[in-house]
Amino acid sequence: MTGPMKKVSFKSVNRNTLAKQVVDRIIELLISGQLKPGDKLPTEMELLDVLHVSRPVLREALSALEILGVITRKTRDGTYFNNKVGTQPFSVMLALAVDNLPAIVEARMTLELGLVTMAAEKITDEQLQQLKKTIENIENSKDHNYGEFDKEFHRIIATSADNQIVEGMIHSLLLTHEKTDNEITFREPKLTAQHHTAIYNALCNHDPIDAFQQMYKHLKYVRDKVLKSYNPPQ
């Protein structure tokens, strides 16, 4: 049973790029604190009345917000803001930079260096055991085919940061991992295992500074190896 509808106010909408402006106005309800994640939006008729746009423009804006994971439209129950950040905004940014390998590598470094410091504070014994298993799998891999174990190592760290905002970024982080991994022309399982073990030990000690330093050392190695043969598109 939902409570009474909250009274909200909007800025007026200009005639240019109407659907985009409607998207911005609806997101402003969250930014301004008038509505919160999980709250129900005004009805379509109320939105049409306060925004002064046509029904097709409003529906285009709502469809865009749904695709981006900001809202969920429920049949016969109305439209709600989602409680968590979806993966789409980050995936869209990554897609726009698909040919910019240096930017992708830097984005991966930015995300992972922050995540590993939080992981050092929050990681559980069970997650540490899972990390150790991925290292063992890399060491025992045949034909240097250990990409999935490498990816799982970084996924566990990201998940252990246990943050609902970051949760929406993990999918994009793994996409950056795949992109950089595909650019690597030679594998060094022993060195990869050494780097991962150093990160693992720092996490076992719950030492965020050491975890940051060891992760930076590892990702700098990956960046140097990936970008050494990189040729920007003409």
| DSSP per-residue string spanning 108-177 | HHHHHHHHHHHHHHH--HHHHHHHHHHHHHHHT-STT--HHHHHHHHHHHHHHT--HHHHHHHHHHHHHH
The pLDDT value given to residue 85: 67
Q: Structural domain of residue 188, as residue ranges? A: 99-227
Q: Cα separation of 149 and 42, whole Å?
A: 46
* Shared-domain flag, residues 145 and 223: yes
Indicate whether 131 and 76 sit together in one domain: no
On whether both 212 and 177 belong to a single domain, the answer is yes
Q: 113 lies in a domain?
A: yes
Instruction: State the CATH number of the domain containing residue 28.
Output: 1.10.10.10
What confidence score (pLDDT) does residue 232 get?
A: 52
Provide the domain count of the chain: 2
Of residues 72, 105, 110, the one with CA closest to residue 88: 72
Which residue in the block uniquely carries the two structure tokens 């097709």? 56
Low-confidence stretches of the chain (pLDDT < 70) are: 1-5, 10-16, 85-89, 229-234
Query: pTM for this one?
Result: 0.70
